[in-house]
Amino acid sequence: MSNELIEFVLVSIALLGIGIYGLAVKRNAIRMLFAVEIIVNAANLNLVAFARFMPHSGGQTLALFSIAIAAAEVAVGLALIIVAYRMYKNVDIADFRSLKG
């Protein structure tokens, strides 16, 4: 193993930071979904990296389940965006005000 654990963890932290930036700044619902995907991938990368350095198959198994759950989450998220787009003719989350109740 030529690369150390810390390098993968640092890349994962960078991805997490970029994702948080996207969630904080962007108001486009599709872009916010991109940011969520980037954060989920940072988490999965962490799982697999730690699993490699503490050899146990559990980490990879959890990462596989996490990927499957993320697929379900994206399907529902995109469906919600399409419904909201059909109602408001826009993807700007500031327009989705009537969701406040």
Partner 1 sequence: MTNGAPDMADALFLAISVLTIGSAIAALEMRSLVYGSIALMGTLGGVAGFYVMLDSPFVAMFQLAVYVGSIAVLILFTVMLVKRELIFKKIEDPKRKFAGIGLMLITILALGAIILDSGVKTITTDSDPVDFREIGGDFLTYYWPALILMAFILAGSVMGALVLARREDTIENEQ
| Identity of the residue, 70 or 101, whose beta carbon is nearer to partner 1 in the bound complex | 70
Q: How far is the CB of 101 from partner 1 (least distance, A)?
A: 19
Cα–Cα distance measured from residue 23 to residue 32, given in angstroms and rounded to the nearest whole number: 5
Q: How far is the CB of 43 from partner 1 (least distance, A)?
A: 11
34 CB contacts (<8 Å, ≥6 apart)? 22
Cα–Cα distance measured from residue 45 to residue 39, given in angstroms and rounded to the nearest whole number: 10
Residue 33 touching partner 1 (CB under 8 A) = yes
Residues 42-101 that bind partner 1 (CB under 8 A): 44-45, 48-49, 51-57, 60-61, 63-65, 67-76, 78-83, 85-86, 89-92
Q: 22-31 burial, b for 16+ CB within 10 Å, e for fewer?
A: bbeebeebee
Residue 9 touching partner 1 (CB under 8 A) = yes
